[in-house]
Amino acid sequence: MKTIDDYNFEGKKALIRVDFNVPLDGDFNVTDTSRIEAAKPTILKVLEDGGSAVLMSHLGRPKGKVNPDMSLSHIVETVSEIIGVEVKFAEDCVGKVAEDAVAKLEDGEVLLLENLRFHDEEEAGDEAFSEALAKHGDVYVNDAFGTAHRAHASTTIVAQFFPNNKCFGYLLAKEIDAIAKVMQTGEKPVTAILGGAKVSSKITIIENILDKVDNLIIGGGMTYTFIKAQGGNVGDSICEDDKMELALDILKQAKAKNVNVYLPVDVLAADDFNNNANTQFVDVDKIPDGWQGLDAGPKTLEIFHQVILGSKTILWNGPVGVFEMESFAKGTIAVGNYIDEATQKGAFSLVGGGDSVAAVKQFGFDEKVSYVSTGGGAMLESLEGRTLPGIAAILD
* Catalytic annotation present for 45: no
- Does the annotation flag 60 for ligand binding? yes
- Does the annotation flag 35 for ligand binding? yes
- Residues with Cβ within 8 Å of 268's Cβ and at least 6 positions away in sequence, in order, are 279, 280, 281, 293, 294, 295, 296, 297, 321, 327, 328, 330, 331
- Does the annotation flag 235 for ligand binding? no
Beta-bridge partner residues of 99: none
Peptide bond into 264 cis (omega under 30): no
- Does the annotation flag 152 for ligand binding? no
- Does the annotation flag 354 for ligand binding? yes
Catalytic residue, from 2, 88, 198, 312: name it.
198
- Does the annotation flag 61 for ligand binding? yes
- Does the annotation flag 58 for ligand binding? yes
* Catalytic annotation present for 198: yes
- Does the annotation flag 353 for ligand binding? yes
Catalytic residue, from 2, 377, 385, 386: name it.
377
- Does the annotation flag 172 for ligand binding? no
Catalytic residue, from 64, 108, 354, 385: name it.
354
* Catalytic annotation present for 377: yes
Beta-bridge partner residues of 266: 283
- Does the annotation flag 59 for ligand binding? yes
Catalytic residue, from 12, 13, 17, 35: name it.
35
- Does the annotation flag 318 for ligand binding? no
- Does the annotation flag 242 for ligand binding? no
- Does the annotation flag 107 for ligand binding? no
Binding-site sequence positions for ATP: 202, 293, 324, 353-356
Binding-site sequence positions: 19-21, 35, 58-61, 117, 150, 202, 293, 324, 353-356
Point out the residues that are catalytic.
Answer: 35, 198, 354, 377
Binding-site sequence positions for substrate: 19-21, 35, 58-61, 117, 150
